[in-house]
């Protein structure tokens, strides 16, 4: 029974939802949240559970080998759920090496520590690597990514995640380290950093700023509510077969422009603006370099084998998300002050 669990990247968007779910649902587990608190990590995301007796936060960097070794020696983890990563494609185009450092090197450091500290007894241990559907590349108009789809990463971000997946599988085959991997589609929900499409659009619409849509807005993403992803991670952690990969997706494909139009309608309603007001903010800008056309996940394996399915319809999830952002202006103000402004100018000023 995985009793002491290391969750990496638990102060980030998805990680904070996973930490909350584990801390609340498993009071007999000890949850250690390790996070470097980069621009994307925010302890405000976890203020509701910070004083729970089964929760502890540790600040640290997954690429720091001696620190990670010491952490494993101190806590004797039974399980690792690894989410810490550089996660934004546009930033990976600006600064690829940061992605190689954290996503590749950091994952290898964690795998190596697990191998060293578990080597005498792999019984009841599990290293769970949280990955992305972007490792499979880009789809045309038809078809889905399955667990058998060949890897074809095309951005520095997806190449670094693909590389980390390969290291996880290499540790399974070479050292028999008990591992499991999941590859998930685009998440949305509360605490999502406003560099990603949905929270950025909500923030800009609220402030009457242009909503930048790359290219013609024709690219397609498969959106999943973040709490459904956290539930899938819980299911796979407890019931998944060692050595396996599970795809997680929302069965919910949207062209970016259609999604933004839906969001504009919701925002008009919530902000009591005349219908069509927010859509006037939509601005087509220069496309992302190497922009993958379409992602779509076939999550049949996870559904058939472990019984997981998404719980929310997209419109309902999007409304919940908008409500959260409108009720948490302070959170948005904190994360968009300072360094966010520099990133925003660099990313959007010349587009």
256 binds ligand DAU (CB under 6 A): yes
Of these residues, 35, 134, 147, 222, which one is catalytic? 134
Stretch that binds ligand DAU, among 68-76, 85-93, 272-280, 300-308 (CB under 6 A): 85-93
Q: What is the DSSP letter of 44?
A: G
Owner of token pair 């919530």: 270
- Supply the minimum distance, in Å, between the C-beta of residue 92 and ligand NAD: 11
**Residue placing its CB nearer to ligand NAD in the complex, 13 or 118:** 13
Q: Are 5 and 30 in contact (CB under 8 A)?
A: yes
SS3 100: helix
Active site (annotated) includes residue 120: no
The number of residues making up the chain comes to 351
**Residue placing its CB nearer to ligand DAU in the complex, 134 or 227:** 134
**From ligand DAU, ligand NAD, none, interface partner of 63 (C-beta below 5 to 8 A by class):** ligand NAD
Stretch that binds ligand DAU, among 18-26, 47-55, 127-135, 162-170 (CB under 6 A): 127-135
Of these residues, 157, 172, 295, 325, which one is catalytic? 157
Active site (annotated) includes residue 134: yes
Q: Are 308 and 231 in contact (CB under 8 A)?
A: yes
**Residue placing its CB nearer to ligand NAD in the complex, 101 or 255:** 101
134 binds ligand DAU (CB under 6 A): yes
SS3 48: coil
Burial 137-167 (b: 16+ CB within 10 A, else e): bbbeeeebbebebeeebbbbbbbbbbbbbeb
Size of the site for ligand DAU (CB under 6 A): 19
Question: Of these, 17, 88, 91, 125, which contacts ligand DAU (CB under 6 A)?
Answer: 88
103 binds ligand DAU (CB under 6 A): no
Site for ligand DAU in 197-216 (CB under 6 A): 197, 200, 212-214
**Residue placing its CB nearer to ligand DAU in the complex, 66 or 349:** 349
Active site (annotated) includes residue 133: yes
Q: CA 304, 307, 308 angle in degrees (round to 5)?
A: 110
Nearest-angstrom CA–CA distance, 98 and 160: 10
DSSP 264-312: HHHHHHHTTPPTTTGGGGEEEEPPPTT---B--B--HHHHHHH-----S
For the window 159-198, what string marks contact with ligand DAU as x by the rule CB under 6 A? --------------------------xx---------xx-
Question: Of these, 221, 229, 231, 294, which contacts ligand DAU (CB under 6 A)?
Answer: 221
- Supply the minimum distance, in Å, between the C-beta of residue 130 and ligand NAD: 5
- Supply the minimum distance, in Å, between the C-beta of residue 200 and ligand DAU: 5
**Residue placing its CB nearer to ligand DAU in the complex, 54 or 160:** 160
Owner of token pair 């693909």: 162
Give start and end residues of each alpha helix (H) in the chain: 13-25, 65-75, 89-94, 96-99, 107-118, 156-175, 197-206, 226-239, 256-270, 300-306, 314-327, 329-336, 339-348
Spatial CB neighbours of 114, under 8 Å, sequence gap ≥ 6: 72, 77, 80, 125, 127, 171, 177
**From ligand NAD, ligand DAU, none, interface partner of 221 (C-beta below 5 to 8 A by class):** ligand DAU
Q: Are 15 and 184 in contact (CB under 8 A)?
A: no
The residue at minimum Cβ distance from ligand DAU is: 132
Residues of the shown chain interacting with ligand DAU in the complex, contacts defined by CB under 6 A: 87-89, 132-134, 185-186, 196-197, 200, 212-214, 219, 221, 256, 288, 295
Could you list the active site residues? 133-134, 157
């Amino acid at each position: 029974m995985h009793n002491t669990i290391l969750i990496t990247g638990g102060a980030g968007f998805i990680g904070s939802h996973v930490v909350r779910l584990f801390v609340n649902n498993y009071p007999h587990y000890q949850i250690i949240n390790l996070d470097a608190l980069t621009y994307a990590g925010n302890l405000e995301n976890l203020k509701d559970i910070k004083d729970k007796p089964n929760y502890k936060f540790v600040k640290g960097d997954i690429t720091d080998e001696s620190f990670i070794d010491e952490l494993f020696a101190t806590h004797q983890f039974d399980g690792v759920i690894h989410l810490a990563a550089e996660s934004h494609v546009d930033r990976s185009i600006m600064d690829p090496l940061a992605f190689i450092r954290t996503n590749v090197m950091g994952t290898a450091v964690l795998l190596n520590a697990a191998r060293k500290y578990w080597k005498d007894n792999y019984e009841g241990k599990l290293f769970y690597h949280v990955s992305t559907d972007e490792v499979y590349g880009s789809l045309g108009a038809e078809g889905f990514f399955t667990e058998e789809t060949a890897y074809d990463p095309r951005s520095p971000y997806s190449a670094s995640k693909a590389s980390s997946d390969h290291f996880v599988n290499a540790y399974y085959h070479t050292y028999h380290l008990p591992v499991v991997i999941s590859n998930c589609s685009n998440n949305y929900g509360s605490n999502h950093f406003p560099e990603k499409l949905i929270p950025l659009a909500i923030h800009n619409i609220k402030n009457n700023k242009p909503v930048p849509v790359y290219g013609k807005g024709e690219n397609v993403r498969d959106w999943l509510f973040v709490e459904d992803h956290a539930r899938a991670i819980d299911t796979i952690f407890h019931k998944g077969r060692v050595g396996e990969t599970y795809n997680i997706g929302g069965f919910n494909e949207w062209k970016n422009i259609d999604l933004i139009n839906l969001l504009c309608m919701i925002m008009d309603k919530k902000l009591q603006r005349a219908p069509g007001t927010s859509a006037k903010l939509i601005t087509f800008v220069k496309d992302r370099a190497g922009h993958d056309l379409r992602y779509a996940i076939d999550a049949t394996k996870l559904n058939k084998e472990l019984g997981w399915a998404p719980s929310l319809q997209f419109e309902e999830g999007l409304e919940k998300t908008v409500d959260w952002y409108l009720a948490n202006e302070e959170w948005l103000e904190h994360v968009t002050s300072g360094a966010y402004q520099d990133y925003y100018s660099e990313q959007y000023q010349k587009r």
